[in-house]
């Protein structure tokens, strides 16, 4: 298995064996249920589709209800696919837990949707310093300043740092240490912060760049 779906519960701290305080994020890691097996002969590639979280059946359209019913675990809040080289070792309806994939001391990448901050100016969005608070500055304290030259290039270059929508995008935090796994409670303690707000859905994978 190459990843799991989880839910960010929040942050707390634990004590290591040598007495140091370790800031951790608590992630609820399932259990995830195998909803569909995709195989090269039928689908052209090999992958597992897994479901996470519960949802009222009437909140799901009939096509998805029939699709999820094959797992026999009710309706799921989230469906995600994970590529595998061989899916023969898994069965539809099988539960996959964090302890099946990760162990204490592993490095993982956590992806999620960052907190949305709405429409923000350049100081909040890009950490611009702003203009002097005196010496003739008039109604121009938090502006971005010049955005281009005159005849060349004669336009605003792509990627110019300006005011706009900030946050609410898919990002990943890499190389987070697994501090503790509570298999009976389906909880994983990860050192540091992970993207998103509390109760946000996250994807956990083994670290790609150790």
For the chain, the structural domain boundaries read: 4-116+170-206, 117-167
pTM reported for the whole predicted model? 0.86
pLDDT digits (tens, 9 = 90+) for 64-90: 999 999 999 999 999 999 999 989 889
Neighbours of 178 (CB within 10 A): 20
Q: Region of 169 please: left (phi>0), alpha (psi -120 to 50) or beta.
A: beta
pLDDT digits (tens, 9 = 90+) for 130-179: 999 999 999 999 999 999 888 888 999 999 999 999 999 999 999 999 99
- Look at residue 1 in the predicted model and tell me its pLDDT: 79
Instruction: Tell me what the mean pLDDT of segment 23-51 comes to.
Output: 94
CA distances 133 to 120, 129, 130, Å, are 21, 11, 9
- Look at residue 150 in the predicted model and tell me its pLDDT: 83
Name the token pair of 128.
Answer: 């611009």
CATH code for the domain defined by 4-116+170-206 = 2.40.30.10
């Amino acid at each position: 298995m190459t990843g799991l779906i989880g839910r960010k519960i929040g942050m707390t701290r634990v004590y290591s064996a040598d007495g140091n305080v370790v800031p951790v994020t608590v992630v609820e890691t399932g259990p995830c249920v195998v909803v569909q097996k995709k195989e090269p002969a039928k689908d052209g590639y090999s992958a597992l589709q897994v479901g996470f979280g519960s949802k009222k059946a009437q909140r799901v359209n009939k096509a998805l209800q029939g699709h999820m019913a094959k797992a026999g675990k009710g309706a799921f809040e989230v469906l995600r696919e994970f590529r595998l080289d061989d899916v023969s070792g898994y069965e539809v309806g099988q539960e996959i837990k964090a302890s099946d994939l990760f162990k204490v001391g592993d490095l993982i990448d956590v992806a999620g949707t960052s907190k949305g901050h709405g429409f923000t100016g350049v100081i909040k969005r890009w950490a611009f310093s702003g203009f002097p608070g005196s010496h003739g500055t008039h109604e121009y304290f938090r502006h971005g300043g010049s955005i281009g030259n005159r005849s060349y290039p004669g336009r605003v270059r792509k990627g110019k740092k300006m005011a706009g929508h900030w946050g609410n995008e898919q990002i990943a935090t890499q190389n987070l240490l697994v501090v503790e796994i509570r298999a009976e409670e389906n909880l994983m303690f990860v050192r540091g912060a992970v993207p998103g707000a509390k109760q946000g859905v996250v994807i956990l994978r083994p670290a790609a760049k150790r």
